[in-house]
A and B are shown apart, each in its own frame.
Chain A
Amino acid sequence: MSYQCDILIVDDEPIVGDRLKAFIKKDGHRVETFVDPSAALKRLEEKDFDIVISDIRMGEVDGIQVMQHVFQSSRRTKVIMITGYATLELARESLTKGAFDFIAKPFKLKEIRRTIEKAMESLEKSSPRISREAVVG
Chain B
Amino acid sequence: MTIVMISSMHQSGREDLAQALARKTGWPVLSREEMLDGARKLGIKMGRLEMAMLKAPGLSEKLAREKEVYLAFLTATLCEKTRRGNLIYHGRAGHLLLPGVSHRLRVGLTAPQEVRIKRTAQALNLTPDKAETYLSQLDEDVAKWIRYIHRVDGRDPNHFDLFLNLENMGLSNAAGILCSTAELPDFHPTPVSLKLMEDLNLSSQTKLRLALDERTLQADLQVHADNGVITVTYPPDQAKVASCIPQVLTELPGCREIQCTMAETNILWVQERFDPKSENFGRIIRLAQRWGAAVELMRLIPAEEAPMGVEGAAGESEYGYGRRGCALADDGGVQDDEPERSVDDGGMDRTQEELVDLGRFGGRHTVCGDYDQVLTRVQTSGRYTLVVIGEMFMSKGNSARMRQTRELALNIRDRLKAPVITADELKSQLLFGKRQAAALLGYLVLTVFIYAIVFANQKPILDFLGGSLHQNFKVLAAVAVAVFSPVLAFVYGNVSGLTLKIINVD
**Interface residues of A, Cβ cutoff 8 Å to B:** 11, 13, 15-16, 19-20, 23, 82-89, 91-93, 96-97, 102-110, 112
Contact of B141 among A16, A19, A88, A109 (CB under 8 A): A88
User: How distant is the Cα of A92 from the Cα of B338 in the complex, in angstroms?
Assistant: 29
Q: Are A106 and B133 interface neighbours, CB within 8 A? A: no
Q: What distance in Å separates the Cβ of B90 from its nearest Cβ neighbour in chain A?
A: 14
Besides A104-B48, A105-B328, A107-B333, 12 new A-B residue pairs in contact (Cβ under 8 A), listed by A number: A15-B331, A16-B332, A88-B53, A88-B141, A93-B124, A97-B126, A102-B54, A105-B47, A106-B335, A107-B334, A109-B335, A109-B337
Contact of A88 among B124, B126, B142 (CB under 8 A): B142
Q: Are A106 and B328 also in contact (CB < 8 A) when A86-B47, A88-B53 are? A: yes
Q: What distance in Å separates the Cβ of B123 from its nearest Cβ neighbour in chain A?
A: 9
B36 on interface, CB distance cutoff 8 Å: yes
User: How distant is the Cα of A16 from the Cα of B126 in the complex, in angstroms?
Assistant: 30
- Count of chain A to chain B residue pairs whose CB atoms are closer than 8 Å in the complex: 92
Q: Are A105 and B50 interface neighbours, CB within 8 A? A: no
Q: Are A88 and B333 interface neighbours, CB within 8 A? A: no
Chain B contact residue count (CB 8 A cutoff): 31
Q: Are B141 and A92 interface neighbours, CB within 8 A? A: yes
Q: What distance in Å separates the Cβ of A33 from its nearest Cβ neighbour in chain B?
A: 12
Closest chain A residue to B46 by CB distance?
Answer: A86
Residues of B within 8 A of A109 (CB): 334-337
Contact of B138 among A13, A89, A107 (CB under 8 A): A89
Residues of B within 8 A of A83 (CB): 47
B413 on interface, CB distance cutoff 8 Å: no
Q: Are A88 and B334 interface neighbours, CB within 8 A? A: no
B350 on interface, CB distance cutoff 8 Å: no
Q: What distance in Å separates the Cβ of B62 from its nearest Cβ neighbour in chain A?
A: 12
Q: Are B141 and A106 interface neighbours, CB within 8 A? A: no
Closest chain A residue to B334 by CB distance?
Answer: A19
Residues of B within 8 A of A96 (CB): 124, 126, 130, 133-134, 137
Q: What distance in Å separates the Cβ of A119 from its nearest Cβ neighbour in chain B?
A: 15
Closest chain A residue to B144 by CB distance?
Answer: A88
Q: Are A85 and B47 interface neighbours, CB within 8 A? A: yes
B310 on interface, CB distance cutoff 8 Å: no
B401 on interface, CB distance cutoff 8 Å: no
Interface centre among A82, A89, A103 (most CB of B within 10 A): A89
Residue pairs across A and B with Cβ atoms less than 8 A apart, 15 shown, are: A13-B328, A13-B332, A16-B332, A16-B334, A20-B334, A84-B47, A85-B47, A88-B50, A89-B138, A96-B124, A96-B126, A96-B137, A102-B51, A104-B48, A107-B333
Q: Are B36 and A87 interface neighbours, CB within 8 A? A: yes
User: How distant is the Cα of A97 from the Cα of B120 in the complex, in angstroms?
Assistant: 13
Q: Are A110 and B50 interface neighbours, CB within 8 A? A: no
Q: Are A107 and B335 interface neighbours, CB within 8 A? A: yes
B67 on interface, CB distance cutoff 8 Å: no
Q: Are B334 and A105 interface neighbours, CB within 8 A? A: yes
Q: Are A86 and B51 also in contact (CB < 8 A) when A19-B334, A106-B326 are? A: yes
User: How distant is the Cα of A66 from the Cα of B45 in the complex, in angstroms?
Assistant: 25
Residues of A within 8 A of B10 (CB): 89
Interface centre among A19, A83, A92, A96 (most CB of B within 10 A): A92
* CB neighbors of A among B244-296 (8 A): none
Q: Are A93 and B134 interface neighbours, CB within 8 A? A: yes
Q: What distance in Å separates the Cβ of B150 from its nearest Cβ neighbour in chain A?
A: 15
Q: Are B54 and A88 interface neighbours, CB within 8 A? A: yes
User: How distant is the Cα of A84 from the Cα of B338 in the complex, in angstroms?
Assistant: 20
Residues of A within 8 A of B328 (CB): 13, 84, 105-106
Q: What distance in Å separates the Cβ of B284 from its nearest Cβ neighbour in chain A?
A: 33
Q: What distance in Å separates the Cβ of B259 from its nearest Cβ neighbour in chain A?
A: 36
Q: Are A106 and B334 interface neighbours, CB within 8 A? A: yes
Residues of B within 8 A of A92 (CB): 134, 137-138, 141
Interface centre among A20, A102, A106 (most CB of B within 10 A): A106
Residues of A within 8 A of B54 (CB): 88, 91, 102
Q: What distance in Å separates the Cβ of A9 from its nearest Cβ neighbour in chain B?
A: 10
B83 on interface, CB distance cutoff 8 Å: no
Closest chain A residue to B53 by CB distance?
Answer: A88
Residues of A within 8 A of B133 (CB): 96
Closest chain A residue to B131 by CB distance?
Answer: A96
Contact of B145 among A85, A88, A112 (CB under 8 A): A88
